[in-house]
Amino acid sequence: MSAAYGKCYDPTGALYGVPTFPWKFAPDDELFATRRQLRARGLRPGGQPIAAQVMRVNRRAGGVRVAYLYLYLYLYRIDLAKPVRPMTSRKWGALALAMLARRTCPNCQIVYSYCMPTSLGMCVLCAYPEPTPNGS
């Protein structure tokens, strides 16, 4: 391990308060997982504190990037994770209404099969109307 990675290696947590590992050097055992890895297993952190973090070496600035800037670099304990709460019928209904609102143009009220571009705030046809043949 190079000296740059040594700044990120603190498995006891004495330097940073929580065990810290360099990028791609986190323990590979079944103890820690990121939020995405927990979600893939059907689990969630469930209010547990952060068990470890991953740091990256910043080659341009000569320092390290701390994990609190990147939420996906926090590691949680798998044995303390809880199962994901199932979706209820009301949650499915609220999600369907939210997606319907994102697909409806606020200008012409047409429901499209895609979400409205947030940069335009309306459908493409309303944002860029074709000019009339007489030039007006």
- Residue 3, pLDDT score: 64
16-75 per-position pLDDT tens digit: 788 888 877 877 768 888 888 999 999 999 999 999 888 877 666 656 655 454 555 789
Token pair, residue 84, equals: 């994901």
Show me where the domains of the chain are located.
3-83, 89-127
Q: Dump pLDDT digits (tens) for 59-114.
A: 666 566 554 545 557 899 999 999 999 999 999 999 999 999 999 999 999 999 99
CB half-sphere exposure, 8, CA atoms < 13 A? 24
**Is the separation of the CB atoms in 81 and 38 below 8 Å?**
yes
pLDDT, position 123: 92
pLDDT at 131: 79
pTM: 0.63
